[in-house]
Chains A and B, each alone.
Chain A
Amino acid sequence: MNQAILTWILAEKDLKVECRSPQAFLTTIFFAVLILVVFNFAFDPGSQATREATPGILWVALLFPGIIQLNRSFQSEMEEGTLYGLTLSPIDRGLLYMGKLLANWAFLVVVDLLVLVVFIIFYNFSFSVQMLWVALIIVLASVGFTAVGTIFAAMLCSMRTREVLLPILLFPIIIPIILAAVNGTQEVLILGETEFLKRWLQLLISFDVIFVATGFLLFDYVVAD
């Protein structure tokens, strides 16, 4: 219980910073919406082919804000030496990871769900119960994405080339997430079935469990010294 409270305190610190300066939040959403708009110009908006590609468009639009958020996530901590202070405090390093993960995840889920609303409007879907499935996919996919991303972001936070390196490290690893998310969304939005959806959700959950556990164990080596 104590550990859960500690994790929450660590996450709350980051979330408070986000709430007090919503600039980053707004910029990230704006960027995602911009991608949705650009895709509308890139593909013929009226055609059936574009309609079938909409799950892919949604997930590309959600991927880039995630990268932006991860790149930022250790920035303020580096500037003010917070990370150094935190590593000196008598907290298990794994909990530092969980706190960061929770904050990144919460931020990303809020951004992604707002982008989903814009997506539904732009691409003329309806606000039905089906959309709850998409929301669930977003929630689960964000866990795995931030679980791996937070470790890499911590590794790269002192690098000058981190903006380029982070996606290079992250994209090959999260291919299962992208596949599961796009295909799961396709099941719901285009095919209107939930038959194979369960399978993709299972894959997302196994990815989440494996990499949250891995991150928890390995974070010690990433932030030590």
Chain B
Amino acid sequence: MSLQIDQHSRKLARRYIQVATGLLIPLYVLIAVALYGIFIYAPTEREMGDVQRIFYFHMGTAWNAFLTFFGVFVAGIAYLVTRKAWWDSLAAACAEIGMVFTSIVMITGSIWAKPIWNTWWAWGDPRLMTTMVLWLIYAAYFLLRSSFPEGDKKYKYCAVFGIIGFLDVPLVWMSIRWWRTIHPVVITGDGAELASEMIHVLIISLIATTVLCITLVALRMAMRLNASVVDEIVQKFERRGVTRS
């Protein structure tokens, strides 16, 4: 017996995997260069010492955490306008990777903060707290996702929540900022307060983590498509009386 399965989804999934594998070699090179830069090329920070080297990784993931959150917002609007399921799967992939990156930001931040601020966690710091709220919004987003069966309704609601969550972030930032901040402001209006080698390494790190982020999003999208294809095959078998053992 032959099974008619969604060839379009399979092709699309293969395309994403091609994108991801195409990015792998540049990604490895970038990561290698970034690691070299972080541990060998960049000078040791005068006051903080070696622990400052976590900053390059911290900034890279933080930037991507916000970028993916923006992705959820844009994909949400695009879904509401076009009603194409592709946008929802992009939003979901962005949220998943964003959640991982946000967790990394908080963990690396804590590792840095313990020796420097003498505390793992500082309530009242705008960046820290905004990141935590971002994490909470991502978590709520996944709880919402898992509460609905697949379909237009779920995609719409998740899009609405993603849009509201994104619009909320500047307000969270402002409200926490009006408490006192102890976070070091590295990049000010006058330019970065960093040695030029440090800036080079920072730029490489940002590019490397961004490529990593894009690769992971593409892989997640391929996985989602393949999962839907597998679901379809299972359903077809079940309809013919074959059950999962």
Q: Is A180 an interface residue (CB 8 A)?
A: yes
Q: Complex: how many Å from CA A176 to CA B174?
A: 8
- Summed over the interface, the residue pairs from A and B with CB atoms below 8 Å come to a total of 74
Q: Is B156 an interface residue (CB 8 A)?
A: yes
Interface of B is mostly: helix
Q: Complex: how many Å from CA A176 to CA B171?
A: 6
Per a CB cutoff under 8 Å, which of B137, B144, B167 touches A165?
B144
The answer on a CB contact under 8 Å between B161 and A206 is no
Q: Is B175 an interface residue (CB 8 A)?
A: yes
Q: Complex: how many Å from CA A52 to CA B153?
A: 46
Chain A 103-133 near chain B by CB (<8 Å), digits 1 or 0: 0000000000000000000000000000000
Q: Is A6 an interface residue (CB 8 A)?
A: no
Q: Is B172 an interface residue (CB 8 A)?
A: yes
Q: Complex: how many Å from CA A207 to CA B164?
A: 11
Known: A151-B160, A214-B163. A161 touches B168 (CB 8 A): no
The answer on a CB contact under 8 Å between A165 and B143 is yes
Q: Is A68 an interface residue (CB 8 A)?
A: no
Known: A172-B133, A172-B137, A176-B174. A222 touches B160 (CB 8 A): yes
Interface of A is mostly: helix
Enumerate chain B residues within 8 angstroms of A171, measured Cβ to Cβ.
136
Chain A 76-101 near chain B by CB (<8 Å), digits 1 or 0: 00000000000000000000000000
Q: What distance in Å separates the Cβ of A141 from its nearest Cβ neighbour in chain B?
A: 12
Q: Complex: how many Å from CA A119 to CA B107?
A: 41
Enumerate chain A residues within 8 angstroms of B80, measured Cβ to Cβ.
218, 221
Q: Complex: how many Å from CA A155 to CA B163?
A: 14
- Chain B, 125-167, CB within 8 A of any chain A CB: 133, 136-137, 139-140, 143-144, 147-148, 152-153, 156-157, 159-161, 163-165, 167
Enumerate chain A residues within 8 angstroms of B137, measured Cβ to Cβ.
172-173
Listed by A's residue number, 5 A-B pairs whose Cβ atoms lie within 8 Å are A151-B160, A168-B140, A196-B178, A224-B156, A225-B153
Measured CB to CB, the residues of A under 8 A from B are 148, 151-152, 155, 159, 161, 165, 168-169, 171-173, 175-176, 179-180, 183, 196, 199-200, 203, 206-207, 210-211, 214, 218, 221-222, 224-225
